[in-house]
């Protein structure tokens, strides 16, 4: 009995030839952005990875199977599935046995990428320690997953809807290297700066690839988190986005939003309050992360 994996033929061939593949998550498509921008984003991210010389593999649950690499029709279906389940480590198996359409979070995408033999994964933002976690205990399953599953994840740092210092503490406890790319500070998703120094810094994809392979040689089970700052011309300065985030967090509290609804609720409110500007930035930072992930995947493939 093995995992119910359906690997797209192009992805399977690329992996068999030890050529670079970049995994992509699907919760960002179903719960992170509205239709039709979600499907447009997913397609342009796949194109960006191809232009950079790697093959994209968007991961989602369809018809009781883990699909690694989606056809155009499958991507459309996913992007227009308002009832898609948001699946993390806790509910991945139940999602598969239910037969329903399922989107994978960062945690679940890491699990599936590892099963398929993919080393690098690009997304927008990871889940983390939510503000107020000292009372709600809301800490994303993405954090312990990074400590457990050997995939290098490229994200744009921690969103300020999270408590960034606490998120860094939990990552450290879980043995996760947090690597800021090309700067000292940990980027804060829509903004390049957070005011908080990152634990580690690297300046090239090759360095990140070497560290990934060194972890394998050491037998360390977990992954790496690469925090890649949003391109300058698309960033929203902290002074502008912070009040919007504050307001959204307050609304979530007042409406009693909890558990897995928190992140999608906040994103939706922030998109609406900024009249789409934050959505536009979100798309640009995912593209930027996809390009870096492709570069890292290439550097890993030439070294292994």
How far is 261 from 264, CA to CA, in rounded Å?
A: 6
Name the 3-class secondary structure at 208: helix
Name the 3-class secondary structure at 254: helix
Q: What is the DSSP letter of 231?
A: P
Binding span for ligand PSU by CB under 6 A among 123-131, 165-173, 218-226, 289-297:
123-131
How far is 22 from 47, CA to CA, in rounded Å?
A: 12
Pair of tokens at residue 96: 């598969």
Per-residue mark of binding to Mn ion, 115-154 (x: CB under 5 A): -----------------------x-x--------------
Binding span for ligand PSU by CB under 6 A among 24-32, 46-54, 111-119, 290-298:
24-32
Which candidate, 82, 70, 66, places its Cα nearest to that of 31? 82
Residue 139: CB minimum distance to Mn ion, A? 7
Point out the catalytic residue in the list 46, 86, 145, 159. Answer: 159
Residue 292: CB minimum distance to ligand PSU, A? 17
Contact 287, 45 (CB under 8 A): yes
Residue 82 has a CB neighbour count (10 Å cut-off) of 8
Per-residue mark of binding to ligand PSU, 54-93 (x: CB under 6 A): ----------------------------------x-----
Contact 284, 113 (CB under 8 A): no
Using Cβ positions, the residue closest to ligand PSU within the complex turns out to be 32
- Note if 185 is an active site residue: no
- Note if 159 is an active site residue: yes
- Which residue carries 């979070």 as its tokens? 105
Pair of tokens at residue 13: 């061939």
The binder of 299, among ligand PSU, Mn ion, none, by C-beta within 5 to 8 A per type, is: none
163 binding Mn ion? (CB under 5 A): no
The residues annotated with a catalytic role in the active site are 25, 159
Provide the binding-site residues for ligand PSU, judged by CB under 6 A.
25, 27-28, 31-32, 88, 105-106, 124-127, 140-142, 159, 260, 263, 267
């Amino acid at each position: 009995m093995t995992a119910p994996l359906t690997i797209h033929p192009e992805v399977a061939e690329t992996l068999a030839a030890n050529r670079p593949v970049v995994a992509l998550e699907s919760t960002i498509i179903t719960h992170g952005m509205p239709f039709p921008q979600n499907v447009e984003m997913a397609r342009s991210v796949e194109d960006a990875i191809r232009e950079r010389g790697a093959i994209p593999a968007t991961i989602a649950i369809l018809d009781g199977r883990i699909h690694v690499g989606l056809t155009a029709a499958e991507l459309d279906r996913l992007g227009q599935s308002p009832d898609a389940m948001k699946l993390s480590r806790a509910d991945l198996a139940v999602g598969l046995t239910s037969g329903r359409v399922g989107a994978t979070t960062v945690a679940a995408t890491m699990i599936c990428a590892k099963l398929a033999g993919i080393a690098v994964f690009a997304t927008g933002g990871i889940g983390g320690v939510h503000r107020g976690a000292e009372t709600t205990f809301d800490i994303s399953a993405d954090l312990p997953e990074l400590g457990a599953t050997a995939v290098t994840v490229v994200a744009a740092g921690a969103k300020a809807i999270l408590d960034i210092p606490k998120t860094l503490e939990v990552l450290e406890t879980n043995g996760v290297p947090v690597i800021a790319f090309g700067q000292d500070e940990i980027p804060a998703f829509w903004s390049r700066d957070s005011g908080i120094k990152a634990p580690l810094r690297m300046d090239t994809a090759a360095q990140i690839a070497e560290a990934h392979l060194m972890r394998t040689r050491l037998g360390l089970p977990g992954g790496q988190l690469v925090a890649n700052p949003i391109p300058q011309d698309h960033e929203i300065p902290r002074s502008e986005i912070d009040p919007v985030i504050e307001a959204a967090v307050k609304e979530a509290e007042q409406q009693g939003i909890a558990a897995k609804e928190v992140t999608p609720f906040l994103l939706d409110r922030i998109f609406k309050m900024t009249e789409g500007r934050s959505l536009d930035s979100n798309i640009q930072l995912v593209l930027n992360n996809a390009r870096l992930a492709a570069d890292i995947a290439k550097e890993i493939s030439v070294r292994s």
